[in-house]
Amino acid sequence: MTTPWTQRYAQRTQRMSSSMIRELLKMTEQPDLISFAGGLPAPELFPVAEFEAAAQRVLKQHGSKALQYSTTEGYLPLREFIVEKMSQYGIQATPENVLITSGSQQALDLIGKLLINSGDLILTENPTYLGALQAWRAYQAEFTAVPIDDNGIQIELLEEALCGGPKFMYILPNFQNPGGVTLSYDRRQALVALADRYGVPIIEDDPYGELRFEGNHLPPLVVLDAEKLNGDDARPAAGNGHNGDEAGFFRGNVIYLSTFSKTLAPGLRLGWMVAPKSVIKRCVQAKQGMDLHTSSFVQMVAHETIKGDFLPRHVRRIREVYKTRRDVMIGTMLRQFPPGITWTWPEGGLFLWVTLPEWLDAAAILPKAIEQKVAFVPGTAFYPDGTGHNHFRLNFSNAQPEQIEEGIKRLGRVLAQELERTAELAYA
């Protein structure tokens, strides 16, 4: 007897769906279409020659080690490199605080596996990273979402959401995906204080922090949390209820995630999680059930490529190229987009976020844009509560400046036509 597979699927699959962006990317593979839809880095910046040379060195010098099974925690020299790199941003980790993951997407899934019971409430920004929603929906999470503005999550609305008792909050502090906005210094401090007051941990997801084009780098939440904790401890009667399972920096409220996807290449699938040792230990167990470990070969080649001073030089180059592309995109939008449309002004990262007049629906406009050979991602997918119909995300890292100019011109024409067609609604 054969029962249809659909009847065999576990209950949790009911909330799983394929990413709208991945589906969209399939539609945008036509050669003459200019896509601002994906979150793709500029492929011409991938350090192909450096990887080729590094791969040869690794195979020659440590071939059998690179092709053998390895530890789940990750290649120690790479973890040491990450520890050193993060110390420049004030994060005081040891290699035992670091777990190498197969992209930070896997870290999100590990967090789901470790922390989410069916029906648990997760607090996110509204809008937020679609891949996190996708990962955690599979663990049957519910979401409470707090709006962002130009300075990140709106702190005055956060407290009410915290009263709902979320399991953790998920925060993208730098050049948020999809909003492009950065959490201000004051809000970072307020957020950490609220997390502490309500005993709600923070997942700080920071894939874009290093891609700052201008302005000052702001301290990660994990650093502010550690400073707060140390300040509390300095007071004699502090009696704080923090994770007392270890001494030092990583005993507080924050798990920090980052990745080499945007600074090296996403095809490596190389990210990392920084957390208290006890959390890392549990994530190691969870990861063993997923993939045993992240590719030893890839970790060793990546380390061979970036050791020394390659990475800072390379990241400087990426920043220059992306800054130019952001400027071309915004400059063209200023000239070509009709009045009534606004957007964020990211100081780094890959994305900016467009707001249409309330009566327009970005998802309904997309097919018309695709007809004109230009694509974006409609906003709704990024909103856990399904709102956000009048927003869309534009990626500026992947297309060449001339393509950006042409694509934005096309999009400007589509939007102008839509505004004209719906003009009477403006006064409804």
Ligand X SMILES: Cc1ncc(COP(=O)(O)O)c(C=O)c1O
Amino acid at 224: L
Compute the distance between CA of residue 135 and CA of residue 120 in angstroms, rounded to an integer. Answer: 14
**Cβ within 8 Å of residue 150, ≥6 positions away:** 181, 344, 345
Residue whose entry in the numeric block shows the structure tokens 């979402």: 145
166 vs 207, beta carbon nearer ligand X: 207
Residues that bind ligand X (CB under 6 A): 39, 103-105, 129, 131, 172, 177, 205, 207, 259, 261, 266, 271
**Cβ within 8 Å of residue 300, ≥6 positions away:** 58, 62, 65, 66, 75, 78
CB of residue 170 to ligand X, shortest distance in Å = 9
Compute the distance between CA of residue 157 and CA of residue 172 in angstroms, rounded to an integer. Answer: 17
Cα 47 off chain centre by: 22
Cα 39 off chain centre by: 10
153 vs 365, beta carbon nearer ligand X: 153
CB of residue 421 to ligand X, shortest distance in Å = 34
Closest by alpha carbon to 326, among 310, 341, 342, 346? 346
DSSP 117: P
Please, which residues bridge with residue 259 across strands?
271
Dihedral of alpha carbons 212, 295, 103, 225, sign: negative
DSSP 384-416: TTS--TTEEEEE-SSS-HHHHHHHHHHHHHHHH
CB of residue 417 to ligand X, shortest distance in Å = 31
CB of residue 11 to ligand X, shortest distance in Å = 26
Query: Which residue minimizes CB distance to ligand X?
Result: 103
Amino acid at 7: Q
42 vs 416, beta carbon nearer ligand X: 42
252 vs 271, beta carbon nearer ligand X: 271
| SS3 labels along 128-179 | CCHHHHHHHHCCCCEEEEEEEECCEECHHHHHHHHHCCCCEEEECCCCCCCC
CB of residue 179 to ligand X, shortest distance in Å = 11
CB of residue 296 to ligand X, shortest distance in Å = 18
- Output the CA torsion 393→136→287→296 (10° steps): -10
CB of residue 394 to ligand X, shortest distance in Å = 14
CB of residue 50 to ligand X, shortest distance in Å = 19
58 vs 130, beta carbon nearer ligand X: 130
Secondary structure (3-state) at 303: helix
